[in-house]
Amino acid sequence: MPRLIVHSFTISLDGYGAGPDQSLQAPLGVGAENLHTWMLRTRYFQQTHFNKGEGDLGTDNDMAAQGMEGIGAWIMGRNMFGPVRGPWPDESWKGWWGPNPVYHVPVFVLTHHPRPSLVMEGGTVFHFVTEGIEAALERAREAAGDKDIRVGGGASTVRQYLQAKLIDEMHLAVSPVLLGQGEPLLAGLDLTQLGYRCEQFTPGERAGFYRIRRD
């Protein structure tokens, strides 16, 4: 059975996975512009998002690249897919990533509002799931085959899967910034009671990386 993993999920030093008030102008929430600096400067990110051969090598780059290896399906929350709230007004919003998103596999988007599947270039197909996290996971397992399933975010989506004890492994990137407010990832969660333990810490150039597994 494929694993359900979180990888390269970035939080601030004070534990926030995004700032408040996400919008088209502030995709990561207000004040969170520097949260992902560690990834943005890697060669992997520059190549996959901008088709450039530039960018930094090192531990940060290795971590960013590892997060995309062996992935057969993704799950994400609606807030990660875009800033539209409530019933879909139309089908014009197709994500932040342009016509050829970086996923190249089926992506299952959690939402309360139905919408037809969205076929993009490069093999990415967004499926909108209204039946909850377990239904999304079941569909993702069918799509992934023997590959892993990655939960992309946001923080609320990761929390739901953690609380349900469904995440097998989580890699957190802790960025050296303070947000003060926003969407907390771990606040109120007792990871030890849920069966999780931190088994590895790796220092990077611009972030620290923690590997957490469920026994």
**Domain assignment present for 90:** no
> In angstroms, rounded to a whole number, what is the distance separating the alpha carbons of residues 198 and 166?
16
> Residue 124: which domain range?
4-19+30-84+100-214
Would 45 be classed as within a structural domain? yes
Residue 91 lies in a domain: no
Nearest to 8 by CA among 210, 203, 173: 173
pLDDT confidence of 53, banded at 50, 70, 90? Answer: confident
Whole-number pLDDT of residue 2: 87
pLDDT tier, 1 (very low <50, low <70, confident <90, very high otherwise): confident
Is 95 inside any structural domain? no
Number of Cβ within 10 Å of residue 70's Cβ equals 14
Residue 93 lies in a domain: no
Q: What is the pLDDT of residue 5?
A: 98
pLDDT at 111 over 80: yes
**Rounded Cα gap, residues 162 and 197, in angstroms:** 12
What type of residue sits at position 86?
A: G
Domain count along the chain: 1
Is 92 part of a structural domain of the chain? no
The DSSP bridge pattern shows strands 196-203 and 208-214 to be antiparallel
User: What's the rounded mean pLDDT across residues 160-177?
Assistant: 98
The mean pLDDT value of the chain amounts to: 95
Q: What is the CATH number of the domain that holds 39?
A: 3.40.430.10
Residue 193, in any domain of the structure: yes
Q: Is 24 inside any structural domain?
A: no
